[in-house]
Structure formats: structure tokens, C-alpha cells
Amino acid sequence: MARQSDDHAVLHRLMQQYEAAPDDEARGRIVADLAQRALRHAFAEETVLFPAYRQHLPGHGDELTAHVEGEHQQINDLLEELQDADPAAAGYDDRVRRVFTLIDSDAREEEDVMLPRLQSVVDDEELRTIGDAWEAARATAPTRPHPRVPRRPPGNALAALPLAVSDRIKDGLDRLPRGARRVSSAAVLALAACGGAAVAAGVRRRRRRSVRAPRFGLRR
């Protein structure tokens, strides 16, 4: 799972950039970038990779993934608090460093314990298939913290459809000049609902056309 390790390396570089940032504004931008990448990374793990652990490592997979899922929940909670926080405010840096500690802990556990165990029980071709599914899930994941979304399929995958659309709309609005952001929250929600419904319909059509295809490429 080189893609997962590469993503861990990018997160580590962003943490280093935070330490070297020249001012509060720069630190805020780095935290926003790191948050988006960390959340998409975690969603892909919870949707694709962790089910593979539980399937291929019966008796151990659930214990392995439950601990990291708990840390993902803590990261979501902290990132939600940081989302609209002032980087110059008291306590901001402490929360950021708590996020960094959790991300580092996850990366070590996944690369030193979890991935080697999975690699010991599946062949290279299936690992590549799982990696492709992980990348697809990461590309379409929500980009903002949603602590109240379930951490496991199918709940997280179903909730992600409208959330991913609304998150990307909000991301686009954030990139506009402040005076051009006059879009009501109702309009954003309506667009998200339409987008989520369209994505869901497309997923259903693809499933009907490929009923015999194994989900995420994992062995049944």
C-alpha cells in the first residue's frame, strides 16, 4: 500500500511546514490543507482498507481497526473545533499539536503493524486492487470534519454522498473573494442534496450493471 505511505509522508511534511510557518495566517492555511488531506485519507481507510483487515484477519482485524477508528473520531472532533478557529487564539496551537500526535500514532500503527499483517495474508494483485479502491474512495471523500458520521460502512459511505458534494461547494466558496460568497446555506444544502441524489443514482446503476463484480476487489 505505497499510496497510503505516500499520503502519510505528505501529512508529515505539512506538520513540518506548520512548525516553520512565519505567521498565524500561514499556520491556519497549513492546518486547513492538512485537515482536508487527513480526513480524506481516514475516510478511505474506513471505507476500503479497514473492512479488508476485518475480512482477512478474522479474530484480529476488528481489534486493530477499532483503535484507529477511535483516533479518527478524536481527529474529527478536534478538526471541527479548529475549522473556524482563529490561529492566534489561545489553545489553537495545543489542539493542532494534539491532531499531529494522533496522526503520527495512526501512521506508525498502520505502517508498522496493520499493513504488514495484511500483506502476509493477501497476494500482490489483491493488494493493488485494494489500493486502487482506496484511492477511488479518497478522491471522492468529504473534505471537512463530520464527527457524527459513522466510522464504518455502510453508514459512512451512505452519509458521504451528499457531504462530499456540499463540502466541495463550501471549499469553492471559501476560495472566492469575501464579497462574492453571498450564497445562502439553503442553496448550498439544496445543491448538495441534488448532487448526492445524482451520485447515489449513478452508484445504483453501476451496481446493477456489475452485479457479479466483487466489492472493492476483496475476496468473499
Helix, strand, coil percent values for the chain (each to nearest 5): 75, 0, 25
What is the mean pLDDT of the segment spanning 63-81? 95
Return the SS3 of 175. Answer: coil
Task: Kindly report, residue by residue over 113-159, the tens digit of the pLDDT.
Answer: 999 999 999 999 999 999 999 999 999 999 999 999 999 999 999 99
CA 32 to CA 144: how far, in whole Å? Answer: 9
Q: Print the domain residue range for 155.
A: 2-217
Give DSSP secondary structure letters for 71-118.
HHHHHHHHHHHHHT--TTSTTHHHHHHHHHHHHHHHHHHIIIIIHHHH
Give DSSP secondary structure letters for 54-70.
HHHSTTTHHHHHHHHHH
HSE at residue 183, side-chain half, CA atoms within 13 A, is 17
Task: Kindly report, residue by residue over 209-218, the tens digit of the pLDDT.
Answer: 433 333 333 3
The better pLDDT of the pair 154, 205 is held by 154
Q: What is the pTM of this model?
A: 0.78
CA 102 to CA 71: how far, in whole Å? Answer: 6
Predicted confidence band at 174 (pLDDT cuts at 50, 70, 90)? confident
Burial 145-175 (b: 16+ CB within 10 A, else e): bbeebebebeebbebbbbbbbbbbbbeeeee
155-174 vs 185-209: helix axis angle to the nearest 10? Answer: 140
Q: What's the domain count of the chain?
A: 1
CA 26 to CA 17: how far, in whole Å? Answer: 9
- Which helix (H) or strand (E) element contains residue 44? helix 24-44
Task: Yes or no: say if 4 and 48 are a contact pair by the CB < 8 Å rule.
Answer: no
